Chain A
Amino acid sequence: MLLVALLACPLLAAALAVPGILTRASVARAGAALSGLAFLLSIVLAGRVLAGGVVSFGPEEFLRVDGLSAVLLLVVTGVGFVALWFGEGGARPPAAGTEGGAETGRRYHALAGLFLFTMLLAVTVNNVGVMWVAIEATTIATAFLIGLHRSKAALEASWKYILIGSVGIALAFVGTVLAYFNFVQRVGSTPYALHWTVLSRVAVLLDPDVTRLAFVFVLVGYGTKAGLAPMHTWLPDAHSEAPAPISAMMSGSLLAVALYAILRFKVVVDACLGTSFTDRMLILTALVTLAVAALLLTRQANYKRLLAYSSVEHMGLMCLGSALGAPGVIAALLHALTHAAAKSMAFLLAGEIRDRYGTASLASVRGLLRAMPWTGALFAAGILALLGLPPAGLFLSEMMLLRAGFTAGRPWVMGMVLALLVLIFPALLTHLNRMLYGEPPEGTPRGDHPRRLMPLGLNLAVLLVLGLWIPGPLARLLWRAAEIVAP
């Protein structure tokens, strides 16, 4: 029941946005409150998972939350809560100044609710076919959200996004069909053949060649949604053009949800073929992704795109971690949590900065610390965290990742990863420096309100706490998840 309540929260929020039920301001407040409730429910669910192992609902465990799902639920609802709360705080509608602002506002809240719902469904449903449907639906829900501002760039970004996203995800469906075909040929037809629990139980019986083929399609398909190179081309456009709360949710949680889908298939494929095949594929993808991110990060002229490319980099790291055995998976999932906290904070603040300076161009933003002392300081904290500096949580997760790599006997891979990270470091730091110091342009209003930034306290707390130590229950939850992915 808890699970159903969790899924109902964002759906209810979306339904409340229908005109005639609530005023626009209360729609926003209801959205924030319901996503907060969803976050609380996820924490309770994670507790149940720690106590009992699995929480499920429906015939043959239609909805099913295990350790892995629980971690993802925390990421999705946590980011959703902060993003919607933050977006609600100001009187600023997402498309201020455009005609039909109220209409746009309602549409924004309805789609944001649906977006959150589809992500929650994707990580709680047991059937990999329905998981596919949910992840495809995230594309549909977010396409309009990216295009909300109706500028030329936003239009181009949303077209690229919906086209590349739909095609990528269609290829993931080919992989899903092949997995189902494999099952039916080897085991026989059952209505639950696409249930992840059933698939992984009979995986040893599956045909290795078809399994390999299915995984390639799945990796390319969901990899497109996860922003893994070379299928990442839509990501910097979409993430930089979307309204700030949506950018935060897309970068912080949607990418991780897509990687989750790959991990679910990895378990099945590994049970059939052993881990070496998927590990090799994932490591190769991760290295290409990191290289692309490192090369393109250095030459960005727009700070929202900078953040987007940084997401590509961090997805590369998570992808790498998931190929390094149980310690690597723990590091990757911890990284998903810490990256979600840091990146959603950075994107939300970038939205504020853009509103103040009226541009997302790196060259035009100067003197951030003078114009917006609180925002500037937090933004700096977010970027430093994303660089993996202590005491932020990403430092710890990246260290764990590197150690997992060396223990797994892959010093060459880790050497390359370190080199690429070193390339990224000065690029981001130089850009940050230029933004923070100097004189703001003439006529830029000064001052900001720490109260408005309150929701980000959650992000800061997560980053700081996880930078110092991993609380016992979280450590146990991560172990549960790692045991599932790398038994």
Chain B
Amino acid sequence: MAPALFSRLVTLASSLVLLSGLAVLWRHSLAAYIRTFARQSFLIVLAILLIAAQERDVRLCVVAALVLVIKVVLIPRVLHRVQRHVAADFEIHPYVNTPLSLVIAGALTLMSYAVAAPVVSLADLPTRGGIPLALATVFVGLFIIISRRSALSQIIGFLILENGIALLAVLATFGVPLIVELGVFLDVLLGVLVMQVFVYRIRETFDTIDVDRMKDLRH
């Protein structure tokens, strides 16, 4: 593939990843959040495969397969089950409303370009155009966690943040060493499994998964 085309495709994939993160900000159905996350993970699989093909790197294909199994299939399946069991359908009253959320997300994206400037200027990689977008995905994930009240939305926020980091790692370094990558996947998977158990318990104890209802512990 011509380097210019490759570079443009990678940036396109990265923008789509960020965009699917933003989708969470204007939708309200939790099922849609989970589908959005699965879609975003699939875009990351495509980005990794693109880079793997260009660099002729078999190791990256393994990583892509892992993302596919864990983040496109397994985790969404677990989350859909949780969502059905706790019968929570909507993120009803986020702390920040939709228009303001989008404005903040825009500001976060601009900020990522500023923060990532030294990284982009150091990189001589064809993939460097996507680096600020990956960082923006990280910040948007963080914002989702802070601004949403449902425990499930917070998990989605965490996963979007995690996806942003995975994208950053593959764009900036063509993947961290495999042993680290494997450890990261294991941690994410276990982390989500632990979190889902707590969602069940929160629902059992508080009759809702609105974390705003948990406020015994302040200061």
Contact = CB atoms under 8 A, between A and B. Distances in A.
Interface residues of B, number: 45
Interface in B191-219: 191, 194-195, 197-198, 201-202, 205-206, 211, 214-217, 219
Interface stretch (A138-146, A251-259, A343-351): A138-146
B145 interface: yes
B168 A140 contact: no
Interface string A158-190: 111011001100110110111011101110000
A129 B165 contact: no
Contact of B176 (A150, A194, A210): A194
Interface string B96-137: 000000000000000000010011011110000000000100
Interface residues of A, number: 52
A127 interface: yes
B180 interface: yes
B37 to A, nearest CB: 15
Interface in B154-194: 154, 158, 161-162, 165, 168-169, 172-173, 176-177, 179-180, 183-184, 186-187, 190-191, 194
Contact of B183 (A133, A186, A209): A133
Given A127-B179, A152-B206, A140 B190 contact: yes
Nearest to A62: B179
B122 A193 contact: no
A140 B214 contact: no
B179 A147 contact: no
**Interface residues of chain B: helix, strand, loop or mixed (majority):** helix
A180 B214 contact: no
Nearest to A216: B115
B158 A177 contact: no
Contacts of A132: 180, 183-184
Of A157, A177, A241, the most chain B CB neighbours within 10 A belong to: A177
B198 A177 contact: no
Given A129-B183, A152-B206, A210 B118 contact: yes
A137 interface: yes
Interface string A237-265: 10001000000000000000000000000
Contact of B191 (A166, A174, A180): A166
Contacts of B180: 127, 129-130, 132-133, 194
A297 to B, nearest CB: 11
Given A129-B177, A181-B172, A152 B194 contact: no
A446 B145 CA distance: 48
B214 A152 contact: yes
B202 A159 contact: yes
A237 B177 contact: no
A451 interface: no
A296 interface: yes
A140 B173 contact: no
B138 interface: yes
B217 A178 contact: no
27 contacts: A129-B176, A129-B177, A129-B183, A130-B180, A133-B180, A136-B191, A143-B198, A144-B197, A152-B205, A152-B216, A153-B217, A156-B214, A156-B216, A158-B198, A163-B158, A166-B195, A170-B158, A174-B165, A177-B168, A177-B173, A180-B169, A194-B180, A207-B122, A209-B118, A213-B118, A296-B219, A300-B219
Given A133-B186, A136-B187, A213-B118, 16 more contacts: A129-B176, A129-B179, A130-B179, A132-B184, A140-B190, A144-B197, A147-B198, A162-B191, A173-B165, A174-B135, A178-B172, A191-B177, A209-B118, A210-B119, A236-B217, A236-B219
* 10 A-B pairs with least C-beta separation: A129-B180, A133-B183, A209-B118, A156-B214, A181-B172, A136-B187, A237-B217, A177-B169, A207-B122, A181-B173
